[in-house]
Amino acid sequence: MSMQTTETASATPTQMPRLARTGLWSWPLGLLLVALAVVVATYWETFVSMASTWNRSSTYSHCFLVLPASLYLIWTRRRQTAELAPQPDLRVAFLLLIPSFAWLLGELAAVLPVKQFSSVAVVVVLVWAMVGTRVFRTLLFPLLLLFFLVPVGEGLVPALQDFTASFAVKALELTGVPVVLEGRILEVPTGKWEVAEACSGLRYLVSSVTLGFVFAWVAYRSWRRRAALVVVSVVVPILGNGVRAYLLVLAGHLTGNRMGTGPDHILYGWVFFAVLMLGTFALGWRWREKGVDQAPSQASFGEETIGRRPASLRKLVLATATATAVAVALPVWADIWLGPASPAFVRAPQALVVSSPWVQGQEAFGGWKPSFADADTEFTQTYVRDGQRVQVYIAYYADVQSGRKLISSTNTLFDRARWHRVGGGRASANVSGQLLEVEETRIQSAEANRVLWSWYWVGDRFTTSPYLAKLRLAWSQLSGGLQASAAIVISAEYVANQGEATEAIRDFLLHISWQQSLRQFGSEPAK
């Protein structure tokens, strides 16, 4: 028996994996690891920011499993990649300019998700350039899985909260439960329920999409079915979270709040989500396709593949040097070109440029105040006219290179421990002669009601869109233009008639010179 085994092991070379037959697979693998090490070191801060989010937020704790899963799936395809003889492609190497430039824009505009997605894309395209298209197709699934390392979705939280609250209200009304919706607070006869950020369902959505992507690749071959399952994995947790919220409120209402509150709230949520996902994937498994993701047999490559010669060491070294240089060129250039910023001169004006009949009020600014982290300076002031009163808040950022963020998920328009949002939308305003759709937010506390109008000033221009503001910040750095920016919030208090508060703000905006007022804060940092 042992002799037969020996004879079988010494079969003809064409029947052996190229990995064992040539011994050259160690060269492309080793050079690829060197290139990846250089790229990871270059984009190190971006990768660390991703891991920090996984560690800080339980919503993304599953991301710790993504990299090991991807590496394991790559390892299971080692025989296939050896058979296909990796061939570097210099044309693909120059495609690395696309994700690296996207990373640069994210760096200039301080948009962390763009930097994170771009960093992962650099790794994926680098592998493609080093192994060639044939091998890349074999590794496509585990490489695409790497994009789930990026912790995104926090920007969806407000929209998910609004949908969950509206869905729960409609369901309660259909089942005959009296309910009043005020912002994201549901009031039923037995008490009040708030759809808080933790109740938005983002955690369920992120987990569902990740599982759906893996399941779709394992269970199906056709891209149409895979795309359909991914869409289902997005829709089901969003609708399911609305049903979950409805059932919790209903259970609390029917039991006098003995059920659906406290620890039960979290436990019931995860049990409901687990049952929902198991049911969805069990149903999807019924339509699975046979022969999915199977390793092709040695013969399936044909003589053309088996006889294909591996790339020379000279070509591998050239491809490694070229791909690595292209991948790291822009980040290195940005680090040298941007460099540490010189301190900007910043001063807070004593008052804004406001015309009569509005005058500066004497009362202290209190009861409400936004929170913008690390602003270079903040300005708060009350202005009055014939009994009407508005409060102005400005968070001023002198430049972008300091690392301070005008637009961040940590910046808030009000203290959420004291105030809660009861509504919002867009409102038309005349801002220094520019017709602008500002963001309107209505908040409420135990003592008062307020309406807030907010927008941004970037590069000496106004905008309400955070995305456009980010792009303008990036362009100001590339073009050497004005880098100063600010968040502007105008607020007025009201008792019952919100219209009086909005009209006071609207009239105040007609009597203020924003450009002149904002330029009082400081000047460009010295070059």
pLDDT tens readout for residues 403-445? 567 877 778 888 887 888 888 888 888 888 888 889 999 988 8
Count of CB atoms situated within 10 Å of the CB of 24: 19
Q: Report the residue count for the chain.
A: 527
pLDDT of residue 264: 63
* DSSP secondary structure, 224-244, as one string: HHHHHHHHHHHHHHHHHHHHH
pLDDT of residue 420: 84
pLDDT of residue 44: 94
437-459: average pLDDT: 89
Split at pLDDT 50, 70, 90, the class of 472 is confident
pLDDT of residue 193: 84
pTM of the model: 0.75
pLDDT of residue 7: 38
pLDDT of residue 3: 39
For residues 319 and 329, give the distance between their C-alpha atoms in angstroms, rounded to a whole number: 15
pLDDT of 343 strictly over 60:
no
pLDDT of residue 13: 41
The pLDDT tens digits of the residues spanning 97-129 come to: 999 999 998 888 778 899 999 999 999 999 999
pLDDT of residue 10: 40
pLDDT of 333 strictly over 60:
yes
For residues 87 and 131, give the distance between their C-alpha atoms in angstroms, rounded to a whole number: 5
Count of CB atoms situated within 10 Å of the CB of 378: 16
The helix-helix angle for 157-174 and 223-254 (nearest 10°) equals 60
Asked whether the beta carbons of 223 and 140 are under 8 A apart, the reply is no
Give me the phi and psi of 155, to 5 degrees please. Answer: -70, -15
Structure-block tokens of residue 226: 């895979």
60-66: average pLDDT: 90
3-state secondary structure 69-110: HHHHHHHHCHHHHHHCCCCCCHHHHHHHHHHHHHHHHHHHHC
pLDDT of residue 388: 86
Structure-block tokens of residue 123: 């790794």
pLDDT of 371 strictly over 50:
yes
The pLDDT tens digits of the residues spanning 149-198 come to: 999 888 888 889 889 999 999 999 998 888 888 878 888 888 888 888 77
Structure-block tokens of residue 268: 């019931």
Q: Which of 96-105, 259-268, 435-444, 475-484 has the lowest mean pLDDT?
A: 259-268
pLDDT of 249 strictly over 70:
yes
pLDDT of 73 strictly over 90:
no
pLDDT of residue 103: 93
Pairwise pLDDT comparison (364 vs 181), residue with the higher score: 181
pLDDT of residue 402: 54
For residues 189 and 396, give the distance between their C-alpha atoms in angstroms, rounded to a whole number: 45
pLDDT of 302 strictly over 70:
no
pLDDT of residue 23: 38
62-90: average pLDDT: 85
Sequence spans of domains, the chain = 13-152+309-338, 155-285, 359-521
Closest by alpha carbon to 211, among 65, 77, 113? Answer: 65
Q: What is the Rg, in whole angstroms, of the alpha carbon atoms belonging to the chain?
A: 29
pLDDT of residue 294: 45
pLDDT of residue 346: 67
pLDDT of 143 strictly over 90:
yes
pLDDT of 40 strictly over 90:
yes
pLDDT of residue 120: 96
Q: Which of 67-71, 217-221, 271-275, 291-295 has the lowest mean pLDDT?
A: 291-295
74-93: average pLDDT: 83
Alpha helices in 10-86 (DSSP H): 18-22, 26-42, 44-56, 66-76, 78-83
